[in-house]
Structure 1
Amino acid sequence: MNKRSFLCSLAVSTIALAPGMSSPALAQNDTIKIIVGYPAGGILDALARAVAEEYRKTSNGQAYVENKPGASTMMAATEVARAKPDGRTILLSHSMPFTSYPYTYAKLNYSPDDLTPVANLANVPIVISTGSVQPYKTIQAYLTAAKADPALGAVGLAGLGGPTHFGVLQMSKHQNVKLEPASYSGGPQLVNDEMGGHVPLGVDAAGAQMELYRAGKIRFLGLAGTQPVSFLPGVKTLHEQGIEGFENVKIWYGAYVPKGTPPETIARLEKSFIAIAQNAGLRKNFEKLGLELTGESAASMKDLLEKENKIWGPIIRESGFKAN
């Protein structure tokens, strides 16, 4: 089964719970709505629908997913921040609305403090990759080539303003190589240019590139962060290879509820969501898509958000980058 088919199969299981369809279950008081700031069909949407389906099976409640794309996921964050704090409206998001956007956007329609962590659900392994047409087979070889030829300094990214963007700037600084982030509208466009040799290096989620990597059309030169990835044996982190700049780059998905949600409600959701993310079968399925399910507590999320703000706040300010 290919990636598109697998994503579709995950989505089908929750079609009966989609908003707008007549179902008495949706009127029950224990129904939750999971809001995702991306269109249907992507990896975060698939995760949300899998969580909704497992919640329905294991929690004696109902759940459905609402896609609310727009404004770099801020429309979704804003809607949940303004929702009634009863635990029935949940945001599923990466951490950027809390750790990057407050520094890159002049104005937000929500405050990060308006949302309360529930559970850390998944890590998104980030790879530094290049097309197999390129002569360099290691990150050190690429950096040596980029020092000799500044034209090789373009690094493709699926959007600016997040950890990968500032990781490139940090690597440029630490390695004393001029690297320029080049923004793409999405992962498919980026890997197409990598394969064609139009961009020398790219940084994106592993899941967006797994099939091409397995087919030998692109190379993985390293991983962001400091931990290996079980389903990418032999791919070392840049940190392990002695390259600084990407050791703090981490993208992960967590669940949030509006501020003021009763602690006992948060605790109930936390327990349920952690159990779902730790489901062995679900973990195995998502590994095929390049996603590591975690299942970690709200307390660990709060610590991680605080740590990321301390790391990225000064770096983003120093960069001077501002989002439109």
Structure 2
Amino acid sequence: MTTRALRMAAALTALMFMALATASRADEYPNRTVRVIVPYSAGGTPDILLRVVAQALSEKWGQAVVLENRPGGNTIIGTTAVTRSAPDGYTLLLASDGTYLLNPLFYPSLPYSLKELAPVMLLATAPHMFALTKSAPASNVKEFVDWAKSKPGTIMYGSTGPGSHQRLAMENFARLTGIALVHVPYKGAPEATTAVLTGEVTASFNSVATILPYVTSGNMRTLGVASLTRSPLAPEIPTIAEQGVSGFTSQGSFGLFGPANLQASIRDKIVRDITEVLERPAVRKVLEQRGFVIFGGGPKEFEDFIASQSARWARVIKEANIKGE
């Protein structure tokens, strides 16, 4: 055998062992606790989604899947913790669109880059609902718009942060209806919702799952859902679009990331196992009852979703002249 042939054989052998080692690591994953960082306050929509999925994954894997809330800094604190973690699949990030869509649009100098994150999959979306404090003198979109026009720049609304989807949705609603509102940012969805309940602010957008229980109990009102079709959870509540704000939609989306350079075989195993969990009728029923629309797919579908939604909201930000605070 020639020297060249020996070198080629050695290289092929090394590649074979590397492939076997990679497959072995994926087969063994996980062999300890998997930590999923949620960069929001406890009790919000991402928590609701992750707790359902994490419980089923823990049972499937035989290892704990632990949720760790790290709110603050407009999701920056929790997100950067993941970007600095080892790409071994044991530290993941469950984030909403504020992290991977809006922050990059609002803040060009973030302490993290999407290049430092590996998209794994988009788990689900959740249409928003317009929450209104019950003392407000409005019961539909027209009454609210007329009231807001009578006192421009005085009605306050809450959001989950300066660069949040909730803020963008409300500013877009204000632009389309010709009203001026005052923005009050909060740390997370629970705080913003509490502010509407107590009357500290008048309105907010948040998920159907978060708002509907308060509406049903009579502690809060809603002007409608921010989807093109009515929610199956509350078919009696009209959409905002059907009340004259043509085409108006807003939804949260919730995706899973790992650190950049996450091993492809481990990423693929996570996708396969979560997909199997999401396809279980019992899991699907629980999530749909909480207002989620299951998305699924893998990294490519998630990347395509990010690209299309980024383009959409970039146009809204420009047309409404919305600035990150």
Q: TM-score, normalised by structure 2?
A: 0.78
> Per the alignment, in what secondary structure is the counterpart of residue 241 of structure 2?
coil
Q: Which runs of 4+ in 1 moved over 6 A?
A: none
Match of 1:292 in 2: 292
172-181 vs 252-261, which moves further: 172-181
Matched-pair contact (CA < 8 Å) for 1:274–1:295? no
Superposed displacement of residue 98, structure 1: 1.5
Q: Aligned equivalents of 1:128 and 1:189: distance in 2?
A: 16
Distance 1:279 1:199, change over 3 A: same
Match of 1:102 in 2: 104
1:79 matches 2:81: yes
96-105 vs 308-317, which moves further: 308-317
Q: Aligned equivalents of 1:280 and 1:225: distance in 2?
A: 24
Match of 2:306 in 1: 305
198-207 vs 304-313, which moves further: 198-207
Distance 1:173 1:69, change over 3 A: closer
Higher CA-based Rg: 2
59-68 vs 124-133, which moves further: 59-68
Match of 1:59 in 2: 61
Q: Cα deviation per residue 1:68-102 (whole Å; 9 max; x = unaligned)?
A: 33322222222222333233321111122211112
Match of 1:24 in 2: none
Matched-pair contact (CA < 8 Å) for 2:41–2:190? no
Instruction: Give structure 1 stretches of 5+ with no counterpart.
Output: 1-26
Please tell me the residue identity of whatever aligns with 1:312.
Answer: W
Superposed CA RMSD: 3.0
Please tell me the residue identity of whatever aligns with 1:296.
Answer: G
1:36 matches 2:38: yes
Match of 2:15 in 1: none
> Per the alignment, in what secondary structure is the counterpart of residue 159 of structure 1?
coil
Q: Aligned equivalents of 2:194 and 2:30: distance in 1?
A: 47
Please tell me the residue identity of whatever aligns with 1:99.
Answer: L
Match of 1:256 in 2: 257
From 153, 178, 185, the equivalent of 2:180 is 178
Superposed displacement of residue 230, structure 1: 1.9
Match of 1:276 in 2: 277
Instruction: Give structure 2 stretches of 5+ with no counterpart.
Output: 1-28
Distance 1:142 1:152, change over 3 A: farther
Matched-pair contact (CA < 8 Å) for 2:105–2:310? no
Q: TM-score, normalised by structure 1?
A: 0.78
Q: Aligned equivalents of 1:52 and 1:187: distance in 2?
A: 21
Superposed displacement of residue 60, structure 1: 4.9
1:45 matches 2:54: no
Match of 1:4 in 2: none
Please tell me the residue identity of whatever aligns with 2:270.
Answer: L
Higher helix content, 1 or 2: 2
From 148, 151, 164, the equivalent of 1:149 is 151
Structure 1 residues 101-120: aligned runs within 5 Å: 101-120=103-122
> Per the alignment, in what secondary structure is the counterpart of residue 160 of structure 1?
coil
> Per the alignment, in what secondary structure is the counterpart of residue 209 of structure 1?
helix
How many residues align structurally? 296
Matched-pair contact (CA < 8 Å) for 2:41–2:70? yes
96-105 vs 190-199, which moves further: 190-199
> Per the alignment, in what secondary structure is the counterpart of residue 255 of structure 1?
strand
> Per the alignment, in what secondary structure is the counterpart of residue 204 of structure 1?
strand
Structure 1 residues 7-46: aligned runs within 5 Å: 29=31, 31-46=33-48
Superposed displacement of residue 308, structure 1: 1.4
